[in-house]
Amino acid sequence: MSAGASHSKRRYRVVQWATGNIGTRSLRSVIEHPAMSLAGLYVHSEAKQGRDAGTFCGLGPVGVKATRSIDDILALDADCVLYMQQGCNFDDVCRILASGKNIVTTRTEFNNPASLAPELRQRVEAACAQGGASIHSTGASPGFVTEALPLVLTSLLRRLDGFRISEFANLAPRNSPELLFQVMGFGQAPDPRRDAGRAHHIREAFAPSLQLVAEALGLGFDAVEAHGEVALARRRTEIAAGVLEAGTVAAQRATVTGLYKGEKLMSFDANWYCGTDIDADWDLRSDGWRIEMAGDVPMAVDIRFPVSVEQWPLVSPGLTAHRAVNAVPCVCEAAPGIRTTVDLPQIISTLA
């Protein structure tokens, strides 16, 4: 059955797993989806247990109560679980798959099965085989911008000399002092340990995704490099969360690069900043992505989000949640196993 046919002929029973920022948006999307029915809702907090699912996302009661019991979820007649919790519990994931339920997740562990430890991959694949189920990782970044979009753009060329994806996030309007100052280190003195931590995070999250695309193109990586760096504020700067003093961290960049035959083939860099008056010559743009491709058909693509600062918190969760929801039909129709962007047909939204 084609993905398009599945959209029109099936109604998918979906479980939402976790109700954080992304999960709450996903929950609402499932409830409102013309081809989906909410089958269940898993939550972690005791305070959330027993609440009607509709109340989590600004809707009226829908008749589905939140549970903290995985056994309740496993007992459901459901096609797919949207797994969106912080951290990946492989025991739970394998139990869900073995019960015959497919999984679409915004976790990054499954973007490229080759990145999993061999014994862990074998365990997940065995659970998929037992339940006749599949699992797929997706989202905005990594996912759409590191896999789906590069595969489409490279279809226009016959020689690729280099591919660079730059992500930009202006955090100045975000009133989250603990996150920005304590966790991320904005407004602090430069710290090489934080730079190393950013490099490790970017490598773990994005290298497997880029490697997947490189291999799909018949290339691959000989090696992967990652590094983090910061730029300092030239003057005292006020942001929503507080103050950046002159000489403290105002912008951060983390980059991962895949090398092929000793040359840089693909790279992704995340640019997070709270101010643009910095001591470095960085091209800091508004929230979005810039994709630059060198080859026999050079091109540059800019993606921006024309919404106000006030609207952005309402819009941004959908960037990650919606692609996962839209992937449900493709994943449910896929052969059992860990399924990547390369394995699946193009993900198409069902809007009516």
Q: Are residues 23 and 119 in the same domain?
A: yes
Distance of CA 171 to the CA centre of its chain: 18
Both tokens of residue 319? Answer: 């960037």
pLDDT digits (tens, 9 = 90+) for 81-115: 999 999 999 999 999 999 999 999 999 999 999 99
Distance CA 246, CA 249 (A): 9
Other Cβ atoms within 10 Å of 263 Cβ, number: 9
Report the pLDDT averaged over residues 129-153: 97
Which of 296, 324, 346 lies at the terminal end of a domain, its last residue? 296
Evaluated on CA atoms 201, 202, 203, 208, the torsion sign reads positive
* Residue 146 is assigned to a structural domain of this protein: no
Both tokens of residue 47? Answer: 């305070």
* Residue 310 is assigned to a structural domain of this protein: no
Task: Give the pLDDT confidence score for residue 313 in this predicted structure.
Answer: 86
Task: Give the pLDDT confidence score for residue 295 in this predicted structure.
Answer: 97
Q: Are residues 213 and 263 in the same domain?
A: yes
* Residue 344 is assigned to a structural domain of this protein: no
Q: Are residues 267 and 200 in the same domain?
A: yes
Q: Are residues 279 and 334 in the same domain?
A: no
Q: Are residues 257 and 166 in the same domain?
A: yes
Task: Give the pLDDT confidence score for residue 8 in this predicted structure.
Answer: 52
* Residue 309 is assigned to a structural domain of this protein: no
Task: Give the pLDDT confidence score for residue 9 in this predicted structure.
Answer: 72
* Residue 305 is assigned to a structural domain of this protein: no
Task: Give the pLDDT confidence score for residue 1 in this predicted structure.
Answer: 37
* Residue 128 is assigned to a structural domain of this protein: yes
Write down the H helix ranges in the chain.
3-9, 21-32, 70-74, 90-98, 118-131, 149-153, 177, 192-216, 312-333
Domain that holds residue 194: 158-296
Lowest mean pLDDT, pick from 6-10, 20-24, 335-339, 344-348: 6-10
pLDDT digits (tens, 9 = 90+) for 177-195: 999 999 999 999 999 999 9
Q: Are residues 333 and 238 in the same domain?
A: no
CATH of the domain at 43: 3.40.50.720
* Residue 100 is assigned to a structural domain of this protein: yes
Q: Are residues 177 and 267 in the same domain?
A: yes
* Residue 87 is assigned to a structural domain of this protein: yes
Answer whether residue 6 shows pLDDT above 50.
Answer: no
Report the pLDDT averaged over residues 225-230: 96
Number of compact structural domains in the chain: 2
Both tokens of residue 106? Answer: 């915004």
Report the pLDDT averaged over residues 7-18: 87
Paired sense of beta strands 12-17 and 80-83, if any = parallel
Mean of all residue pLDDT scores within the chain: 95
What pLDDT band is residue 258 in, cutting at 50, 70 and 90? very high
Q: Are residues 173 and 259 in the same domain?
A: yes
Both tokens of residue 16? Answer: 């939402």
What pTM, to 2 d.p., does this model score?
A: 0.93
132-146 burial code (b ≥16 CB/10 A, e <16): ebbbbbbbbbbbbbb
Both tokens of residue 301? Answer: 């693509």
Q: Are residues 180 and 128 in the same domain?
A: no
Angle in degrees, CA 198, 200, 201, rounded to 5: 65
Q: Are residues 238 and 119 in the same domain?
A: no
Q: Are residues 124 and 248 in the same domain?
A: no
Q: Are residues 134 and 231 in the same domain?
A: no
